[in-house]
Amino acid sequence: PRVLAPLRELCTRHGALLIFDEVISGFRLGPGGAAAHYGVQPDLATFGKVIGGGMPVGAFGGPRDIMRRLAPTGGVYQAGTLSGNPVAMTAGLTTLRYLRRYDCWEGLEELGQYLKQRLGSVLTRSGVPAAVVRIGSIFWIAWGSSAAPASAEAIHPDAARIYRDVFHGLLERGIALAPSAYEVGFLSLAHTPEHIDRLADALGNVLDNLNSESNSTDQADNEPEGSES
């Protein structure tokens, strides 16, 4: 976040456009995405399927004086095979109207806080080094680290190995997370505190099993050679 304001200043000074990729953050931090959350106004922003309630749709936009330069009114050509698809557009408009009508972000923020608290408690009790990172309805667990890494290079080298076991353990218990240790998760309006409780309980069970297996392996390794069990 601390680099965004200097980027805005630099682009303005040199007459360059500042473009925010809000595919992940758009509408998940509030109606204005990361731009409004951090108080930095880009010239253009891109958005993904979040604007269509999960339908295959994306968008980009900005001030009128920039957008009028695009086809069909301007000389910069842009088009897409599914541009303006009526089903996706209907889903998108319905989603955005629902979000604004019911001011859904406050509820998602409360749910996000609850998720961080529940998962954090489970991780602390398990003794497994990990940190819950959250902003808005976006969350991620940094495995192998007791604090959130400040950069990709700071992610613990064992993160993927730890998450592999956690991922498959949760899958066996009916919970499917993203298959990559480096991919974030998202809360939605369909989620409830009960869903988070189920995730937290399942995660605690998985970590207990992994700790038990690890202790058994350590005990076997420490037994004198030729000893009987």
Residue-range domains of the chain with CATH: 3-102 (3.40.640.10), 104-219 (3.90.1150.10)
- Evaluate whether 142 touches 133 at the Cβ level (below 8 Å): yes
**Chain mean pLDDT for the chain:** 92
Q: Which residues pair with 46 in a beta bridge?
A: 21, 60
What is the model's pLDDT at position 183? 96
The Cα 156–Cα 181 span in angstroms is 11
What is the model's pLDDT at position 227? 56
β-pairing verdict for 138-143 and 130-135: antiparallel
Q: Which residues pair with 131 in a beta bridge?
A: 142
Report the Cα–Cα distance between both ends of the chain, in Å, rounded: 56
Residue 51 pLDDT level (bands cut at 50, 70, 90): confident
Q: Where are the alpha helices (DSSP H) in the chain?
A: 4-14, 33-38, 64-67, 86-102, 105-126, 159-172, 193-222
What is the model's pLDDT at position 101? 93
What is the model's pLDDT at position 171? 98
What is the model's pLDDT at position 84? 85
The Cα 87–Cα 56 span in angstroms is 10
Mean pLDDT of 43-52: 92
The Cα 115–Cα 134 span in angstroms is 9
Quote the DSSP letter at residue 59. E
What is the model's pLDDT at position 229? 47
Sheet strands side by side (includes 19-21) = 19-21, 44-47, 59-61
pLDDT digits (tens, 9 = 90+) for 168-223: 999 999 999 999 999 999 999 999 999 999 999 999 999 999 999 877 665 555 56
What is the model's pLDDT at position 228? 55
DSSP SS3 for 5: helix
* Sign of the alpha-carbon dihedral angle for 101, 107, 21, 58: negative
Q: Which residues pair with 143 in a beta bridge?
A: 130
